[in-house]
């Protein structure tokens, strides 16, 4: 069996040290702010995640861009020259052109290296739900599973990766064109906190609204409690936050207390996802007992 590598993109929002430990190759998406492009490397080498979130809080506007075909080819080719195969596990095709770029790069590289196996999986997930699937894929690879077995495992389980994402700033949604100014103003006065998820098709949809942040955080814990795969204490829960570490700690402690979960991975949201969710977002990601709707 030929050796293979797992490639992903930076919308996975994984801590850089874990991506390195898991030997993942991560192709960066990018954000543009003040006329400058910053690549969303997981280690924040071009713009720190906190600095980006602070700029958003200050009212700066940014746009994001997916990975190009050329970026993927550049990352894939050295492995193919070493006679290694490739499995690309990527960001939902419904939210970005990134996955399609990876798929087209795979097609191009297959023509150039016909002896190589290059497979792609559209996770239909985003941020740390994508990171969770990568974590599970790496565990499978470390158990000696083949590229096809890992690909099939991710395909079979991707619809069980749940997203619960709290949006704090309704005006941020308005700036992104996802909410009217009137709705944003009214929602802010009423202290409304919307929650979105990524559905089975890989699209972002609203699932709930809460009056007040604390009520929303409790709602997130309850959502996890209702949907997490059993036995819950054997699950890994991933938490992503927009520079609100105390809230992330609160959610983690509540999940530990109520569900017996002991393994958590917590990280700041990256600039690409953070540009859409805004500062003080909080995301809870876990494997569910059944496929999401």
Q: What is the pTM of this model?
A: 0.94
Establish if 38 belongs to a structural domain.
yes
Do both 139 and 213 map to the same domain? no
Establish if 22 belongs to a structural domain.
yes
- State the CATH number of the domain containing residue 173: 3.30.1180.10
Do both 125 and 194 map to the same domain? no
Establish if 292 belongs to a structural domain.
no
- For residue 108, give the H/E element and its range: helix 98-112
Work out the average pLDDT over 63-71. 96
Using the predicted structure, report yes or no on whether residue 122 has a pLDDT greater than 50.
yes
Give the separation between CA 158 and CA 136, rounded to whole angstroms.
10
Contacts of 55 (CB under 8 A, 6+ apart): 33, 62
Do both 126 and 241 map to the same domain? no
Total length of the chain: 293
Of 105, 131, 157, the residue that ends a domain is 157
Using the predicted structure, report yes or no on whether residue 182 has a pLDDT greater than 70.
no
Establish if 207 belongs to a structural domain.
yes
- State the CATH number of the domain containing residue 52: 3.40.50.10170
Work out the average pLDDT over 67-77. 98
Work out the average pLDDT over 122-128. 98
- How does the average pLDDT of the chain come out, rounded? 93
Using the predicted structure, report yes or no on whether residue 26 has a pLDDT greater than 70.
yes
pLDDT in tens, 194-219: 888 999 999 988 888 898 999 999 99
pLDDT value at residue 180: 43
Of 157, 182, 209, the residue that ends a domain is 157
Which of residues 174 and 97 earns the better pLDDT score?
A: 97
Q: Residue 239's domain spans which residues? A: 160-287
Using the predicted structure, report yes or no on whether residue 13 has a pLDDT greater than 50.
yes
Using the predicted structure, report yes or no on whether residue 250 has a pLDDT greater than 80.
yes
Do both 226 and 123 map to the same domain? no
Do both 44 and 85 map to the same domain? yes
Of 122, 141, 157, the residue that ends a domain is 157
Asked whether 142 and 175 are in contact (CB, 8 A), the reply is no
Work out the average pLDDT over 233-262. 98
Do both 118 and 89 map to the same domain? yes
| Number of domain units in the chain | 2
Do both 81 and 112 map to the same domain? yes
Q: List Cα–Cα distances, 28 to 16, 43, 97, in angstroms.
A: 12, 11, 13
């Amino acid at each position: 069996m030929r050796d293979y590598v797992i490639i992903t993109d930076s919308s996975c929002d994984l801590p850089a040290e874990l991506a390195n430990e898991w030997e993942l190759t991560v192709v960066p998406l990018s954000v543009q702010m003040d006329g400058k492009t910053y690549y969303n490397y997981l280690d924040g080498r071009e713009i720190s995640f906190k600095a980006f979130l602070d700029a958003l809080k200050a009212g700066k506007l940014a746009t994001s861009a997916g990975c190009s075909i050329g970026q993927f080819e550049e990352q894939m080719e050295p492995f193919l020259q070493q006679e290694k195969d490739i499995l690309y596990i990527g960001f939902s095709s419904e939210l970005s052109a990134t996955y399609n770029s990876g798929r087209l790069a795979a097609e191009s590289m297959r023509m150039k290296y016909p002896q190589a196996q290059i497979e792609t999986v559209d996770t239909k997930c985003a941020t740390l739900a994508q990171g969770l699937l990568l974590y599970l894929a790496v565990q499978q690879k470390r158990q000696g599973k083949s590229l096809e077995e890992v690909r099939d495992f991710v395909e079979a389980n991707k619809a069980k990766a749940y997203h619960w994402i709290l949006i704090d700033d309704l005006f941020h949604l308005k700036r992104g064109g996802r909410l009217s100014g009137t709705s944003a103003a009214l929602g802010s006065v009423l202290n409304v906190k919307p929650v979105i998820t990524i559905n089975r098709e890989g699209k972002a949809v609203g699932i709930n609204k809460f009056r007040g942040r604390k009520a929303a955080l409790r709602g997130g814990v309850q959502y996890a409690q209702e949907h997490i795969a059993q036995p819950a204490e054997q699950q890994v829960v991933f938490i992503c936050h927009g520079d609100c570490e105390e809230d992330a700690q609160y959610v983690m402690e509540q999940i530990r207390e109520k569900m017996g979960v002991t393994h958590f991975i917590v990280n700041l949201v990256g600039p690409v996802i953070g540009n859409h969710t805004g500062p003080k977002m909080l995301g809870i990601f876990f494997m569910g007992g059944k496929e999401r709707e």
